[in-house]
Structure 1
């Protein structure tokens, strides 16, 4: 007779493919007629805007543009001028690199960006891009939790265990537009023209209420601008934002990991405010991974003391450990510039990819941070300096967990002029997602020969023996066709925890 089993099903996502793609893009750009000739290139900035991400039969494709800003000294003029242009790019994986994946998350960053002048009216730009792709597929986990029978005559003994697991239950995506105004402080000159800008977004708070994810954060906007008098100035500020993302089904109590990706930006001087207000419009794509914790009951083993019972078991993999954490490292470095600087115009610190190494439970995270400074020398000429520094941090995690980490510099770097150059101070935040899976076995199907009782002829009615070091009372009860309550009762014990390994136990055979 086939036993009816109580089954529990739940859906989740799992990573079905992870890839890192690198590519190089080059472009020759003509300086527009309205721009003066180039005398000397000072620096090059680049922002990546991702426009599309698609999955087609297991193949991942992304496309976007690198918005390049070249700062240069004009020929025959003083001050700093800017040249802006877009470099389109696309990246794709091999066919079937993301099998059965239904959602694609992508991040693209410039690892290298350089522009040189071919002549006063033409520049050559070389860019190396790194694209990180993660595909997720839907999975259905089915577990047997119990035996659906009320027939006490079958004398079925069952072993169940409760496992705590964490599942990636929702992946939310949303495109949204943010608009705000940045006020220049009273001590700064007004702005006539934005030369270049940087934007960093940080999510500071997340909360799930029913089917809604509420997130709050800050956009840090850094500006380099030209004043009406022609001076080169810098400013920065923070703009708070909030968004609501909708989930299918209940997500109450889920923990969220949110990634923000710029898809465009428009930062301009508000002409009606005498250059004291900066209009900021950002176009973004938000992706949120929601994880929910739950307790799962597994039917691990069963037998009958009255009839022959057989079953088939299947292996299960459950997420036994999942943690999202942050570690901050404060960095202080000196950029040696070789000249006497008059003032600092702007500073940036951009971390690269994070490498993960481990020894036992000790995990070391490392990244290379590119530090760049734009400054004025004693003669008022704009110059740039850069340096790469290694930043690392250590943390303790279970040995068998998988670690994924990213690094950010969400706060504006601070700098001071010193005898040796420019001292730069900034925090690097490592955001870590760690998870490990545990293997378990669960009953899948079971049959009992209810028409034929067990033949216990010759089996002893009483056994006297100790419990082995690797044995449990369940093992003894199943082996000698009895039950755990019967063993405890025969030995005057209240629970399994009271049974020492060296104690002789009376093991009575259960009568059908």
Structure 2
């Protein structure tokens, strides 16, 4: 007799593949006629903008631009000049590297960027890019929760397990534009020309209201600019933002993980401000939101009958049983030794590299290299750059069986001051991590009861006396000796399974038919 089983299911996303791709780009750039000749390159900065990401038949393709800014000292002139140009790039994975994936998330960073002068009118730029791709596939999950039969003569005993699971139910994407006016820091002179800029983002709040997800956060914009009298100054400001994304069918209480990536920037001095103290900031962004829902499900994991032989089919079911997002901040304070006497610090920047994850037991250590760069003037007014990579680490306590993915960012303004030994810098590094563990649970998929041949228990003893084994539980005893858990508890005058002793003999009555 085929036993009818109750079934349940859900749809979820799971990671179908992860790739890390590296490539190098080079370019020769002619200095435009309106720019003066280059005497010396001071530093090179780059911002990576991803414009498109496509996934077709398991093959991923990214395209974007590295927006390069070269600061240099001009020949026969003082001060600092800037040269900007774009280096387009395309990243492709091998065919079928992400099979069956339907959604692609990607992040591309510049791991190395350098420009050198070929002659006063031409420079050579070398850039190394690292792209991290994750493909997600839609996965329907079905499982049995109970045996549907109400026939008491079958004498069925069922083992049902309650399991907490975390489901990635929605992946939503949106391109949006943020336009704001930024005022230069109080006490700063107005800007005549913008030399370079840096933009970092931080999501501070997410809220799900019906089918709408509200995102709130802050952009931190740092500027290096030249004043009307030729001096260089810097200024940093925070621009709050909020966005609404449509997420149809999202469950109340779902938790959002948000990734923001710049796809372009446009910063200009406001022409309506004669003092040059207002900067028109337009930021173009791509937002990716992963929504996770916590559920408690019931799995039918074992089955037997005290009256008939039962045969069943079972299969492992992989579920995410633990997931936790976290942010840990580490405050860093370091001194950049410069070997000369500095007069003024013009700008400071921090770029965090890849996060390495190591663990021992339940202790997880996250490490990243924070590249610190300071642009300053020596006492003769010559612009110079000091660089140093600082290792920053963070320790977490997490279950041994979980995996951890993390990235590190410096989303706040970098503080700095001149000291006798060089330039002291102070900045925070935020480790944004997600810990998850997947476990396999055996779940019955089909069951059959041999109702034509009842069990022959005529020769079986009516009572067994034994201790509970180290690896045994009440279910194991009941199934082995063809009885039930309530019968064992009643025979030993115990109120619950948790009261079963392991060092005392137990009375195990057999149930006959």
TM-score (norm 2): 0.97
In structure 2, what is the equivalent of residue 404 of structure 1?
405
Which SS does the other structure have where 2:245 is aligned? Answer: strand
Structure 1 distance, partners of 2:472, 2:131, is 52
Which SS does the other structure have where 1:372 is aligned? Answer: strand
Describe the superposition over 1:405-463 as per-residue Cα deviations: whole angstroms up to 9, x where unpaired.
10100011111011111111111111111111122111110011223322223122333
In structure 1, what is the equivalent of residue 331 of structure 2?
330
Query: Given the alignment of the two structures, is residue 101 of structure 1 paired with residue 101 of structure 2, yes or no?
Result: yes
Which SS does the other structure have where 1:94 is aligned? Answer: coil
Deviation at 1:493, TM superposition (A): 2.4
Structure 1 outlier segments of 4+, above 4 Å:
none
Alignment of 1:457-476 (within 5 A): 457-476=458-477
In structure 2, what is the equivalent of residue 478 of structure 1?
479
Alignment of 1:143-222 (within 5 A): 143-222=143-222
Query: Given the alignment of the two structures, is residue 413 of structure 1 paired with residue 426 of structure 2, yes or no?
Result: no
Structure 1 distance, partners of 2:154, 2:210, is 44
Structure 2 distance, partners of 1:497, 1:41, is 74
In structure 2, what is the equivalent of residue 446 of structure 1?
447
Determine if contact 1:209/1:251 at 8 Å carries over to the other structure: no
Describe the superposition over 1:440-490 as per-residue Cα deviations: whole angstroms up to 9, x where unpaired.
111110011223322223122333333323222222222222212222223
Deviation at 1:509, TM superposition (A): 2.5
Which SS does the other structure have where 2:478 is aligned? Answer: helix
Gaps of 5+ in 1: none
Alignment of 1:330-349 (within 5 A): 330-349=331-350
Determine if contact 2:170/2:250 at 8 Å carries over to the other structure: no
Determine if contact 2:316/2:441 at 8 Å carries over to the other structure: yes
Describe the superposition over 1:55-107 as per-residue Cα deviations: whole angstroms up to 9, x where unpaired.
11111111100001111111112221111100001111111111111111111
In structure 2, what is the equivalent of residue 18 of structure 1?
18
TM-score (norm 1): 0.97
Q: What RMSD in Å do the two structures reach over aligned CA positions?
A: 1.3
Structure 1 distance, partners of 2:135, 2:118, is 41
Describe the superposition over 1:258-310 as per-residue Cα deviations: whole angstroms up to 9, x where unpaired.
11111011000001012111000000001111111111111111111222211
Deviation at 1:363, TM superposition (A): 1.4
In structure 1, what is the equivalent of residue 434 of structure 2?
433
In structure 2, what is the equivalent of residue 507 of structure 1?
508
Determine if contact 1:354/1:406 at 8 Å carries over to the other structure: yes
Which SS does the other structure have where 1:511 is aligned? Answer: coil
Structure 1 distance, partners of 2:492, 2:393, is 58
Gaps of 5+ in 2: none
In structure 2, what is the equivalent of residue 83 of structure 1?
83
Determine if contact 2:144/2:443 at 8 Å carries over to the other structure: yes
Deviation at 1:317, TM superposition (A): 1.6
- Most deviating of 455-464 and 169-178: 455-464
In structure 1, what is the equivalent of residue 318 of structure 2?
317
Structure 2 distance, partners of 1:6, 1:442, is 12
Determine if contact 2:185/2:237 at 8 Å carries over to the other structure: no
In structure 2, what is the equivalent of residue 113 of structure 1?
113
Determine if contact 2:361/2:400 at 8 Å carries over to the other structure: yes
- Most deviating of 255-264 and 455-464: 455-464
Determine if contact 2:161/2:298 at 8 Å carries over to the other structure: yes
Determine if contact 1:172/1:288 at 8 Å carries over to the other structure: yes
Structure 1 distance, partners of 2:185, 2:433, is 36
Which SS does the other structure have where 1:97 is aligned? Answer: coil
In structure 1, what is the equivalent of residue 130 of structure 2?
130
Determine if contact 1:212/1:251 at 8 Å carries over to the other structure: no
Which SS does the other structure have where 1:272 is aligned? Answer: coil
Which SS does the other structure have where 1:368 is aligned? Answer: strand
